[in-house]
Structure formats: structure tokens, C-alpha cells
Structure 1
Amino acid sequence: MVFLGFLLGAAAIAVGAGVVLDNTDSARLAVFDQDVPGLNNEWQVFLAGAGVAVVLVLGLMLTCTGAARRIRNRRDLRDLREEHQESLTTLEMEKRRLERELARVRQGPGRRNAQPQPQPAPASPPVQGVRVAGGRSRIPATSPFFERGE
């Protein structure tokens, strides 16, 4: 789009310059030493100049629009890259934190550097089940992971 705008702008400038430089008579229109047929009156010459001006404005508008779109696309891509990098960094930090937490849970509170030794199972009180529909009891799941106070 930018190229098309430059092309139209250059064509309009070239035609306008040719009209101005080659016209010595008030109602004669010549472009690059060639007479333009059908343009014999001053108003016809004026309309031809207005047409050249419209083409120039369209060319400049296309150029500005294309440049603005390119700038906006580059800015959006840069923002997306930064956002992607931030999310990757956040995910990596979360992964490391979860790996440390998993290692801590797997190690247990008293087994950090010592060899595992069998311990007698303590006598635990009976687990109260939760009554569900149908009269069956369901034992709630417990885990040190879910009992943390964070």
C-alpha cells in the first residue's frame, strides 16, 4: 500500500509539473510537449488540474494509511512477544516452586538426610466416614499436601 501511494503521488507530481511547464497559452494543455485533445477552455484545464490534485491526495492518503498500519502491526507484535516472554518466565518460576514443594512433600518432615527406618504404626482412632446417599459411608481423603497452611 505504501508503494502504491508513492507511485500515485509521483505520477500526480510528474503530470502536474508537465502541465505547468509546458503550458504557455491560457487555454492550451500540453503534457510532456504533447497537446491534450479536447481541453480548449480554461475551465477544462482547471478540471484537469483538480483531477491531478485528487490523485495526489489519494496517493498521500494511501501512503499514510499504509505506514500507520505497518507501525501498528510492529507495535502489536512487540507487545505480544513481551507478553509471551513474561508468561514463559512466570510458568518457569511456578514449575520450579512446584518441583521444590513436591520434593519437600516426598521427603517428609523427618526424612531429610536420614535413612528411612521402619516405624511402628501408631494406633489411630477410627475414621469417621461421611454419609452419602444410599447409606454408604465414604472416607475423606487426607494428604499432607492438602493440610498445608499456606
Structure 2
Amino acid sequence: MVILGIVLAAAAVAVGIGVIAGNSSSASIDVFGQHVPGVQTEGQVFAAGVLVAFVFLLGLALAFLTMGRALRARRELRDLRDEHRESITTLEMEKQQLQRDLARARSATGGTARTADDIPVAGGQRPNRDPVSTFFDRTD
């Protein structure tokens, strides 16, 4: 879109230069050696100039708006990268804190780690820890 805007602005400038360079009379328009039909009065020449200026401004506006959108997208991407780095740093700090807490808890229990079998179960009964599933043993 930036290129399209620049092309429109350049075309408007080229037409303006062509009109200025090719005209010898005050009430006709010649662009690059070609007469523009339908333009016979000074008012029509002025209107054609306004049209060329409008196309030029349209091209510039299109180019600037597209560049602004690209800059906003880059800024947003940079902010997202910064936010990602901050979250990774926070997670790493939390991990280090949890590792310190775990080491402190292990040293407080005498250096032995607790397993699932060491943790008391409500009712005092332990479930059968058979590694093989009883699902296929059914005879329904």
C-alpha cells in the first residue's frame, strides 16, 4: 500500500509537470504532447489542477497511513516480546524459589524424600497397587 501511495503521488507530480511544461495557451491542457479533450476554459484547467492535487494528496495519505500501521504493528510486536521476556523471567524466579523451598523442606525432614506410599490415607487403608489393570479380567 505504501508503494501504491507513492505511485499515485508520483503520477500526480508527473501529470502536473507535464501540464506545466506542455501548455502555451491559458485555456487548454496538453499532457506529454497529448491534448486533454473537454478542457477549454480557465475554470476547467483549474478544476483539472485541483483533481491532480487531490490524487497527489490521496497518494501521500495512503502512504503515510500504511507506514503508521506498520509502525504500530512493529511496536506491538516489540511490546509482546518484552512481555514474554518478563513472564519468562518471573517464571524462572518462581522456579528457583520453589526449588529452594523444596530443598529446605527436604533438609527439614532429614534428607529423605516422601513418596506416595508414605502419605497417610483417610480411613487407614491403602488401595491395591497392582500395576496390572483389572479391566481385562472381567467376565461379564
- TM-score computed with the length of structure 2 as normaliser: 0.75
- Output one character per residue of 1:25-75: Cα deviation in whole Å (capped at 9) or x when no partner: 011110000111111111111111110000011011111111111111111
Query: Which position in structure 2 is the counterpart of 1:25?
Result: 25
Number of equivalenced pairs? 113
> Is 1:37 equivalent to 2:37 in the alignment?
yes
Could you tell me how far apart the structure 2 residues matched to 1:37 and 1:54 are?
Answer: 20
Q: Which amino acid is 1:17 matched to?
A: I
Q: Which amino acid is 2:48 matched to?
A: A
Query: Which position in structure 2 is the counterpart of 1:6?
Result: 6
Q: Stretches of 4+ moved more than 3 A in 1? A: none
> Is 1:88 equivalent to 2:88 in the alignment?
yes
Matches within 5 A, 1:1-150: 1-108=1-108, 111=110
What's the RMSD between the two structures over aligned residues?
Answer: 1.7
Could you tell me how far apart the structure 2 residues matched to 1:5 and 1:26 are?
Answer: 31
Name the larger-Rg structure. Answer: 1
**Going by fraction, where is helix more abundant, 1 or 2?**
2
State the secondary structure of the residue aligned to 2:40.
coil
Q: Which amino acid is 2:46 matched to?
A: F
Q: Give aligned-pair identity as a percent.
A: 54
Q: Which has the higher contact order (CA 8 A, sep 6+)?
A: 2
Q: Which amino acid is 1:47 matched to?
A: A
